[in-house]
A and B are shown apart, each in its own frame.
Chain A
């Protein structure tokens, strides 16, 4: 059993100012014993990837309610791969129509959680995903 704490970046890409969800999720992950780095608003994809690398994070959670989700998810995933960090788990949530989710998963997102998802579901999913990732290391 790997005893290292899970390190997760919670990120707000783009110009979207809705941070209630990101902050609630960040607190829930922290209360579940994870180390959480919250980026704050208005982050470019470059800044988010930089934070993930600097913090040596296991995962990055992207919260976006502005409709720019496809643009940012794919950009962040691509950049992580370019930086040789393609194993970082990317997940997220926000106002994201169901029909856009398969495209995000295909691009490499691990999970996309819609409105109304209990934070416990995110926590359990992330714990499982990180355990799998570490088993491969």
Chain B
């Protein structure tokens, strides 16, 4: 830096020292929510070492720090995609049509836990869970109802489905067929990210090796047949919800990404091709500046990883495109209306971080599934940011902020340190097996909880500014216990009316293909789904061949 700056800074700092003698600051040291130290003031000397063209660059160009498109939200807004689904296919279909009529621009399907773990509604393991956290889907019949009067060539649909992703994608393809929409015209995303299930989310079925095969079978099948489909959404969201820091969220998500690219490469797939269809999913938490920096750092890191580590030359396969959801664990059951404000700031950080799609949480989600009214406010929050705040009218407006660029660099540095440690352990699968990842997340979660209890971290309405709340006059959504009974009845009717010989032949074909690693399972799963084999039947066959994963408990 020039002499003038250095002198001015020294003069400023001397002045601060005097001020501090009279008035101490609120804390001895300041840091981000993720524990990165924060200086009092950031100036040009802090980003002096950053090569602008190489490290920051231009939007739509490597390393994509400033965004994946050259015009970003001046071209078009992000996809406003609200995660929804509950009870039966009929009720969820109604909610989707309500959301579409209210201006959401993409669907996002929440499945109930039995569906996510490959159990039909009549399975003993499904007791008490049907339709609770999402919609219950047992067969193509349910899926036809779920998308009734929703043209699949007009909407893009994201499905939060992991271990049985092939089955639900197959059902979606078959619904498309019935609507006259070829699979080549379908667009959407399946989450299909099993590694974070082992780490943080818990809806695994099979052990890692066959799970990775199912995933790469999907990569291969879709790159040939469903070219507009995002075949995976590599998710940091749940890692963060489980308690990780922002830097850990980036590190562990990208490390999962590396593991998928390696698995697909060893199957002979070209990362220049399948790399275009990899998408990501991040959380937006409270620490505003750190979150903006996190998104920018993740984009730059992935571009470097794809280019330098995997030799990818196709820019579209170097780009990190991502969905964001605001942080569920930041919502409070106390004074729930305050959550509207939290969600607004979190959503703004995602927009300033250049997200491709966004889900804003509803204020009542620490209490129950969201009601129609609170979902509407959550969606309106996005629309207000998009149309009224003005931040969408220029690309990456926080770039060049000394603190944002500094934090972007620091998150990258910290996250690459974790990735290096994971590499040294032999990769992400080993790191998960050894409990390394889980341990780091749990330690961060515990530390956070202690900081809240000692009031070092203030959560408004929870450990400060509490009020007596007598009757929370909020209308909560409840799921009728009869959903399970109705689903079971539907299943019985289905099994009595379908061609059971065709079903059993299709299941046999899946069984023998499962034993032969070189065969792609996807076409056979589509065949089975088309003749109304249930999800539980298909996953049951695969459980028989692949076995089941048992959790490695880390405490």
Query: CB distance B449 to A24 under 8 Å?
Result: yes
Per-residue contact bits, chain A 16-39, to B (CB 8 Å; 1 contact, 0 not)? 111110011011100000001010
Query: CB distance B333 to A15 under 8 Å?
Result: no
Query: CB distance B203 to A15 under 8 Å?
Result: yes
The reply to whether the CB of B500 lies closer than 8 angstroms to some CB of chain A is no
The reply to whether the CB of A98 lies closer than 8 angstroms to some CB of chain B is yes
The reply to whether the CB of B446 lies closer than 8 angstroms to some CB of chain A is yes
> Contacts of A119 on B, CB cut-off 8 Å?
449, 453
Chain A residue at smallest Cβ distance from B242: A20
Prevailing SS type, chain A contact patch = loop
**A116 vs B333: C-alpha distance when bound (angstroms):** 7
**A66 vs B555: C-alpha distance when bound (angstroms):** 22
A-B pairs with beta carbons under 8 A, tally: 99
Query: CB distance A68 to B445 under 8 Å?
Result: no
User: Contacts A23-B555, A41-B551, A71-B128: A17 and B197 contacting too (C-beta < 8 A)?
Assistant: yes
> Contacts of A71 on B, CB cut-off 8 Å?
127-128
> Contacts of A41 on B, CB cut-off 8 Å?
202, 551
> Contacts of B463 on A, CB cut-off 8 Å?
118
Query: CB distance B113 to A120 under 8 Å?
Result: no
The reply to whether the CB of A128 lies closer than 8 angstroms to some CB of chain B is no
Most chain A CB within a 10 A radius of its CB, from B117, B334, B442, B452? B442
Per-residue contact bits, chain B 327-342, to A (CB 8 Å; 1 contact, 0 not)? 0010011100000000
The reply to whether the CB of A42 lies closer than 8 angstroms to some CB of chain B is yes
Chain A residue at smallest Cβ distance from B554: A23
The reply to whether the CB of B479 lies closer than 8 angstroms to some CB of chain A is yes
The reply to whether the CB of B133 lies closer than 8 angstroms to some CB of chain A is yes
The reply to whether the CB of B129 lies closer than 8 angstroms to some CB of chain A is yes
> Contacts of B243 on A, CB cut-off 8 Å?
20, 24
Per-residue contact bits, chain B 517-555, to A (CB 8 Å; 1 contact, 0 not)? 000000000000000000000000000000000010101
Q: Name the 3 nearest CB pairs between A and B, nearest first.
A: A17-B202, A71-B128, A67-B132
**Could you give 28 example pairs across A and B, Cβ below 8 Å?**
A15-B113, A15-B116, A15-B126, A15-B203, A16-B113, A17-B200, A17-B203, A18-B241, A19-B202, A20-B243, A20-B442, A24-B442, A24-B445, A24-B449, A27-B442, A38-B555, A40-B551, A41-B551, A42-B551, A67-B479, A75-B128, A95-B367, A115-B333, A116-B332, A116-B333, A116-B366, A116-B462, A118-B463
